[in-house]
Amino acid sequence: MRTSIPITIILFLLSCSVSKPTKTLHPYTGQQLGCGNFIAYKLSEDNNEYISISFNASNVELGAKQSYGIGKASIVEVKRKKYEGRIDQSLCNDVMMDKPDIIIEELATGGIVEILIRDEEIEKSKNNEPYNVTIILRDVTFEGSVVDYLRIEKINVGWLPG
């Protein structure tokens, strides 16, 4: 009887632990865009929301597979933005268009970004030519929400609009 009381108390305390509810985000089934030194966008189906991945590729020697912890590696940044209307025509475009108002803008606080580059694409990047990458996001957390898995396949980066 004496040993069951401490076990009961421990189980009760564990069941009372406070955890922040998270919503899994899966709206990113729209188009994907890449531009700049290394910026990739994956849009929602209705084109009014996106996840962007910015990577400072000029400070890193690109390899076949690289993995970065969000918040731990200052060279990678993941954002989520939602607008009142369509935003797709304003991304990677040297002609600035009127943008709808921003409803949500969040910076990811955790998770993993994987960057996959084939050997021939690494050579293109070394020659300052546009190149293709595949980006995988795993368990990327925002305020109260998470993107558990998102793959952006063969996105073209390493170029500037204009």
Please report which helix (H) or strand (E) contains residue 121, including its range: helix 119-126
In whole angstroms, give the CA distance from residue 106 to residue 25.
13
| Residue 142 token pair | 């925002």
In whole angstroms, give the CA distance from residue 144 to residue 85.
23
Q: How far is CA 101 from CA 42, 54, 73, 95, 117, in A?
A: 19, 22, 30, 18, 35
- Find out whether 104 and 82 touch, Cβ atoms under 8 Å: yes
> Any alpha helices (H) in 16-158, and if so which ranges?
119-126
Determine how β-strand 76-83 pairs with β-strand 49-55: antiparallel
Adjacent-strand bridge partners of 159: 36
Q: Along the 162 residues of the chain, how does pLDDT read in single tens digits?
A: 555 555 554 444 444 444 454 567 667 899 999 988 889 999 999 999 999 999 887 767 777 888 999 987 678 999 999 999 998 888 887 776 788 999 999 999 999 999 999 888 888 888 888 999 999 999 999 988 899 999 999 999 987 655
Its pTM stands at: 0.80
